[in-house]
């Protein structure tokens, strides 16, 4: 049975969200930085391939089971961009303010503001695991021009959910985790893990 899992990310927001969602399983979540694991390359065109590459990289270096997500925002008017390039949409180094500024600028003349967050989560028992667990989630909304809220991270202040009348950044963490793309994907992963590990 899995007792420890390496999270193949150095993102504090993701670590917090994943830790809260995984707590009921009693699995100790270790950030890869704590184990001296470097960030993996993400050269692929799909979220699933990037998440798998990150999970395998962390498992290989930490010699422990590992999981990773690759997530981003896909905007209809931009043909799915920024997609897998969400974290570095405005170039290096990563910058949420610059990414958001670029997105809002590109959408200034667009009437179609539809967007969705997408998340792929992958878990491997070891680096060569031939049966990785793969789960996904989508969260639909639209991009607004003026940020609202001070919670969340990334594009959250600009990601408006019409059904709630709020942006992702205005939602309490518990409510966001219940409906977000990452929350959806992780709950599906947890269900798969419970079935496989008899937790």
Catalytically active residues, by annotation: 70
For the residues of 160-198, what is the DSSP string, one character each?
Answer: EETTTTEEGGGS-HHHHHHHSHHHHHHHHHHHHHHHHHT
Which one, of 185, 171, 56, lies nearest residue 124 by Cα? Answer: 56
> Cα separation of 9 and 55, whole Å?
9
Residue count (the chain): 199
From first CA to last CA, the distance across the chain in angstroms is 8
Torsion sign, CA atoms 52, 48, 14, 104:
positive
Q: Any idea what the Cα angle at residue 36 is, between residues 32 and 41, rounded to 5°?
A: 65
> Cα separation of 49 and 141, whole Å?
25
> Cα separation of 80 and 138, whole Å?
13
In which order are the strands placed within the sheet that holds 159-161? Answer: 28-31, 4-7, 66-75, 114-124, 133-143, 159-161, 166-167
């Amino acid at each position: 049975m899995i007792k420890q899992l390496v999270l193949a990310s150095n993102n504090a927001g993701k670590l917090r969200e994943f830790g809260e969602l995984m707590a009921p399983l009693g699995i100790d979540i270790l950030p890869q930085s704590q184990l001296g694991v470097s960030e993996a390359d993400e050269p692929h065109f799909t979220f699933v391939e990037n998440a798998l590459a990150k999970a395998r990289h962390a498992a290989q270096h930490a010699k422990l089971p590992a999981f990773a997500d690759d997530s981003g925002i896909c905007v209809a008017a931009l043909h799915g961009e920024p997609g897998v390039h969400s974290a570095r949409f405005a170039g290096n180094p990563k910058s949420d303010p610059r990414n958001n500024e670029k997105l809002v600028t590109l959408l200034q003349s667009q009437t179609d503001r539809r967007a969705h967050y997408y998340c792929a989560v992958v878990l491997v028992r070891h680096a060569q695991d031939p049966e990785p667990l793969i789960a996904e989630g989508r969260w639909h909304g639209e991009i607004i021009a003026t940020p609202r809220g001070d919670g969340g991270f990334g594009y959250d202040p600009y990601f408006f959910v019409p059904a709630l009348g709020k942006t992702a950044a205005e939602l309490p963490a518990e409510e966001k985790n219940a409906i977000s793309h990452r929350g959806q994907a992780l709950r599906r992963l947890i269900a798969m893990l419970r079935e496989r590990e008899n937790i």
